[in-house]
Amino acid sequence: GLLSLAIHPGNVNILYATTATGVAKSVNGGGTWTYVNSGLTSVDIRSLAVDPSNGEVLYASTPAGVFKTTNGGNLWQLLGVGNGPASLRALVVDPSAPSTLYGLDYSTRILYKSTDGGLTWNLKYTFNIYAGILVAAPTSPTTIFIGGGAYGPIGIFKSTDGGTSFS
């Protein structure tokens, strides 16, 4: 089944979807789909994020780590080998600073941040809930929201300083 769906920011006919067998791409508004998994060492995609300034740049989180493509999924490359978090449940690209990524690890309840396009990651914050939803505000470069609570308290948290603190 369909796990996630993303739209190319410059062309609404180009869609990316994740399924149990990897990343699929449609260039005709969902009429037909082709798998674009070349370079992925795992097709267990936990999260997919599209660069809002360049729809050919995508990031995919897998248990093997974070992968990046710069050509719309035709070829994926593993980033930050040995440095990046594995199995991020949520992944977003900062809309105003595309080299800044945020990733949320559901099992450890940790928010990670990369400022070099996913090559290196820093632990930014640890939550007391199992959060799996991560959203970056499109007009405010340092504002992100995190939500969750599948196994305990439910909450939505807001950061206005790039994930250093939350309220």
Mean pLDDT, contiguous 10-residue spans, the chain (167 residues):
88 94 96 96 90 94 90 92 69 90 83 90 79 80 78 78 85
Measured CA to CA, the distance from residue 119 to residue 156 in angstroms comes to: 28
| pLDDT score recorded for residue 83 | 55
pTM above 0.85, yes or no: yes
At 62, the amino acid letter reads: T
Q: How far is residue 142's CA from residue 64's CA, in Å, rounded to a whole number?
A: 28
Please give the C-alpha separations between residue 157 and each of 52, 59, 130, 149, 163, in angstroms, as whole numbers: 23, 24, 12, 11, 10
Q: Where do runs of H (alpha helix) occur along 21-147?
A: none
Q: What is the pLDDT of residue 167?
A: 83
Q: How big is the chain, counted in residues? A: 167
The tokens of 150 are what? 């599948």
Which residues make Cβ contacts (< 8 Å) with residue 82, sequence separation at least 6? none
